[in-house]
Amino acid sequence: MRLLLVEDDEMLALSLIRFLRSAGFAVDHVGSAQNARAMGLQEDYRAAVLDIGLPDGSGLEVLETWRQARSEVPVLLLTARGGWQDKVNGLKAGADDYLAKPFHAEELVARIQALIRRSEGRVHKVLQASGFELDEERKRVKTPEGAWHGLTGTEFRLLRCLMARPGRIFSKEELLEQLYNLDADPSHNVIEAYIRRLRRLIGRDSIKTLRGQGYVFDTTR
């Protein structure tokens, strides 16, 4: 899952990036309102963590720009202002959640995962599709036959992307965008290699290849 982190405090941002990556997110980081506006409109993120106090503007103005452009990305506001009126203003501007500093990184990740679940129309933390179950906390998958398989970070992100929207065709470009941040430069061969590894774990027919289009998680079971 690809996530945008907007935070001008470099030390806090580096700490959060490490934590978010260990939780399975591909993170793009910016520290200004100007860059945040552009990134939020140009890229396809599953969620955004947005600091309100930015050196060149307000995170609320960034959020209003995204919403006026019909962006539906789930947004969690992160700020040192924890008053009830600040929270009301943030939610009225289009935020989906609000977390005041200081905070525990575990709470931030749990709130982001909850936002993404709701955006996918589900409430349970285990992602289910076509008889498979994906345990997002332990990064493992259960096959319809009942066998559990542990996943590497990239295997988990790829399988989660496919299982979150079973039946939808994903091109290699779309999968690369969700698996890696802008600083990475992976090739299409990387996707092919990880698809092969997943098929060895959960069965060849679980992920179908549509020639010239991409990959789709099986929905015919």
For the record, the structure tokens of 7 come out as 């935070």
Check whether 219 has a pLDDT greater than 70: no
Residue with tokens 């609320």: 60
Across all residues in the chain, what is the average pLDDT? 91
Reported as a single tens digit per residue, the pLDDT across 120-167 is 888 787 888 889 999 988 889 999 999 999 999 889 989 999 998 888
Reported as a single tens digit per residue, the pLDDT across 55-93 is 999 999 999 999 999 999 999 999 887 788 888 888 999
Q: Which domains does the chain have, with CATH numbers?
A: 2-120 (3.40.50.2300), 126-217 (1.10.10.10)
Reported as a single tens digit per residue, the pLDDT across 199-214 is 999 988 899 999 889 9
Report how many helices (DSSP H) and strands (DSSP E) the chain contains, helices first: 8, 13
The letter for the amino acid at 52 is I
Whole-angstrom Cα distance, residue 66 to residue 49? 13
For the record, the structure tokens of 107 come out as 């709470």
- Between the alpha carbon of residue 139 and those of residues 27, 84, 159, 220, 221, the distances in Å are 18, 36, 10, 24, 23
| Residue 70 neighbours by CB distance under 10 Å | 7
Whole-angstrom Cα distance, residue 54 to residue 207? 43
